[in-house]
Structures are given as structure tokens and as C-alpha cells.
Amino acid sequence: MWPSLKDLAKDLRNGQVKSVDLVNKTFQLIEDNKEYKTIISVQKDSALKKAQAIDEALKSGHKLGRLAGIPFIAKDNFLTIEGYTTAASNVLKNFRAPYQATAINLLEEEGAICVAKSNMDAFAHGSSTENSDFFTTSNPFDQERVPGGSSGGSSASVALNIAPFSIGTDTGGSIRQPASFCGIVGYKPTYGLVSRSGVIAMASSTDTIGSLTKSVSDGILIMDIISGQDKLDSTTLDSQYKVDSKRITKVKKARIGIIKEYLDYGLDDSVRKGLDLTIQKLKDQGFLLEPVSISSLPLALAVYYVLCPAEVSSNLSRYDGLRYGYSDDQSKDLEDSYFKNRTNGFGKEAKRRIMIGTYVLSSGYYEAYYKKAQLVRTKIINDFKEVFSKYDFLIGPTVPTVAFKKNSKNSPLEMYLNDIMTVAANLAGLPAISLPVLMNDNLPVGIQLIANQKKDNELLSLALEVEEILKS
């Protein structure tokens, strides 16, 4: 078990622990937990070098950042100068990034040390890591089950206590769903709160970057560090909206809507139990909770699986192998090289999404699918706006089920349906968090809290309170 990030930072500052020891311990833990297959690559030499430098600076009394000497694991779709960045795809198997993601830079400026890159569904397409082109990660609580996805390697690593924290990406639930399956805290911020610069693009209009931690307070610290406006991403929001530890307050009263549409969906008994328990405990503390209907929500998944593949097909068109990534030397001319590089480079799910996206964007179908989905997206956004005029927050399950068995989904659509309760927040750009509530038959159950856009500090304040209440 790792202490909280704040305590860990304090121990490092006081000289009670050394960064080199923490980094070595992490590498030992990666080795010890190899059977779970959470890690794609490690950055051993660079991490130890950085740790030594931090230890020396601390010894000579330099004032260092808030995470000085603390190791972390990044999902493998964050570009890092050190080591490889693969997005768990054969296309980028040997890719070394020429520059680094803003989020990684911000963590490093505070002294955090990236030690490894974690497994994921290739290009973040999936909910189980089964779409990784390399291997499937196992759930820390039952190796026959998936850890969730696409940030499955990150979630499982944090749940297994391999590293104190990890960062991931959430395009349709890829932080919250694996957090729920692994019993940890997963935070997805308002769209544009964290820079997407240097993060391998999936669906640009819903891609967000967030934290995977053991506690809400650790998540607040990470989000405080990585959020804020960035010149390299023109869609980032003004820094006045960023997560700010000083703006986290005690929430005594709040109006919380219980999303009715999610209750009617076939929930696992354990998920229903977890949600009911949370609702009861919050009511006992004087919070106002009542069911609220958001009638367009059942449409969110259909909207998502038009818009997301459309954006994927556009974003993945850059992988033609001409400039970087997998390249087949045997092709006879330029046209042939496009076909060979893409056919041999992409895995099944990437191809599936590229083809759906190409279809819904193609002449004759654009209006019927893509444009229509954009219109229904507006409807969902309007419905959320109306609900947030009456309620401060929304509550519901993160996922309808606990972690499912590997190879148990019979079709791509069946896998997509797992995202039914997470995609809406992405379509509307809302901040949302998954919190672990209870263990049922040794499998974790999570609940989800959602707030209005740009209310990240309010949502994290509430999450802190809910976490406390759930402990009691």
C-alpha cells in the first residue's frame, strides 16, 4: 500500500524515504505483478536518473514540486520523450515520440517520475483491454475477468498498488469504467480542462484526460496539476475553471438527481445495491436526492457510436506509414503502401471503427447518420442543461455490471453496450467521477457522480464528501 500523495511527498521532503527507493520499489512491484499484464514498457534508466537527481536536490535543501520524487504510470497513449509510445497498437509498436504530452510535462515539473506505460485497448478503442494488439490485462480481483478499458492497464496498476497513481484518457468512459471494475477513483474532467496536446487522438470532440487514484484527494492533487489552459491545445478552457485544491470546499447541502433512465436498465443486483446504499447514506446526511428523468439519455450510445467512429476514421487517417508508424517495405507503389501499411498495422477493432466512421461520413449517408447524430447530441446537451437548472449533481451507476469475464462479449455491439452509462457525459462535455462503493463477491462496484460543465471543483468537493460518508 502506498500512503496518500501528500504524505508521500512529505516523507520525501523530510528525507524519511528516498525517491530512488520508491522508483526501485515500483519496478519490483511491476515484476511481482507481471501475471496481470498491466504494463507495456518501462523507463528504468531515465526514471532512476531522475530519482537520483531529486534525492540530491532534496538533500541539499532545494524547494521542489508537489510530487517531487513520486513515481507514476502513464497510459500508453501519452507521448513521452523517454521510451516508446505505442497506444497498444502494432502501428506504433516501435514509435518513439519526438515531443511530450503537456500533461506529462506538468507532472514532471512538479517532480513526478514516469516509470512505465500501461496497457490499453489499441488506440483506446474498447472497454476491456481485449482490443490491445499486444495482450489482455487481468482484473486484480479475478484474473479470469477484464480490468475494464480502455485505461485498463492504468486502473489495474493502481488497484494492485504498483504505483501511487496513474493518468488516463476518457473518450466514452475509458477512465470511469475501468476505475469501477478495479475499485479505484477515476476522474473525467470537463471537456477542454486538460490539454490534449501530445495525447494520441481518438475522438477529438470527446477526448478528455484525467486521473486514476486510490482516493479523491489524490485525484484532486493530480487534476490541480494537469488542468489549465495550454497554448498547444486551442480547445483548452480558461484557467479560471481549472481544478484548484484551494477551491475544494466542504459540501453540506446539494440537490442530487438520481438518473431514472439508468435504473430501468438491467442493472446487476450488486450495482443496484451499491447505488441504493450510497443514496441512503447521502439522504441520512441531509442531502436532497430524488429521481429525475432525462428522456434523451437512452439515445446517447447510438449518438456516440456514430460520432466517435466518424472522428476515429478521420484521426486514424494519419497512420499511412509514410511518415511514422508501421511501414511495409514490400509495397510496389504509393497507393499500394497505403493499403499494406493500414491493413497490416491496424487491429480488428480499429478497422471496424474506421469503416463505420467512413460509412456514416460517406456521401449519401452523411445527413442520415452523422448530421442526425450531431442533432441528437444537441438534444442530449439541452436535456442536461434543463436538469442542471434544478439539480447541482446527478448520480447513477458507472457501469450496469461488475467486471465481466474475458472473451464473454459475443459481438462488438455487445461490448459497446457496456458504455451506455458513461458516454453521455462525454457527449455533453460534463465532468464525472467513478467512486468505489462496495465489494460484492470479491468484485468492486462503482457509482458515478456527474456535474454541469466547468463545475469540476464543485464535483470534486462533493466526491470528497461522498467518499467520507461511504467510509462511515
Catalytic residues: 75, 150, 174
The cell numbers describing 14, all together, are 523530510
Least distance in angstroms from the C-beta of 15 to another protein: 32
Which residue, 237 or 251, has its beta carbon nearer to another protein?
Answer: 237
Which residue, 113 or 306, has its beta carbon nearer to another protein?
Answer: 306
Name beta bridge partners: 239: none
Cβ atoms of residues 163 and 73 within 8 Å: yes
Which residue, 313 or 461, has its beta carbon nearer to another protein?
Answer: 313
**Integer angstrom CA distances of residue 396 from 7, 86, 164, 178, 262:** 32, 34, 27, 16, 7
Least distance in angstroms from the C-beta of 343 to another protein: 4
User: 273: burial class by Cβ within 10 Å (0-12, 13-18, 19+)?
Assistant: middle
Residues in the chain, total: 472
Least distance in angstroms from the C-beta of 278 to another protein: 28
Distance CA 428, CA 431 (A): 9
Cβ atoms of residues 166 and 183 within 8 Å: no
Least distance in angstroms from the C-beta of 406 to another protein: 19
The cell numbers describing 407, all together, are 472473451
Name beta bridge partners: 396: 448
Least distance in angstroms from the C-beta of 411 to another protein: 6
Name beta bridge partners: 289: 256
DSSP strand pairing (288-292 vs 113-118)? unpaired
Which residue, 249 or 295, has its beta carbon nearer to another protein?
Answer: 295
Q: Cα 356 vs. chain centroid, distance in angstroms? A: 24
Which residue, 24 or 205, has its beta carbon nearer to another protein?
Answer: 205
Distance CA 400, CA 390 (A): 26
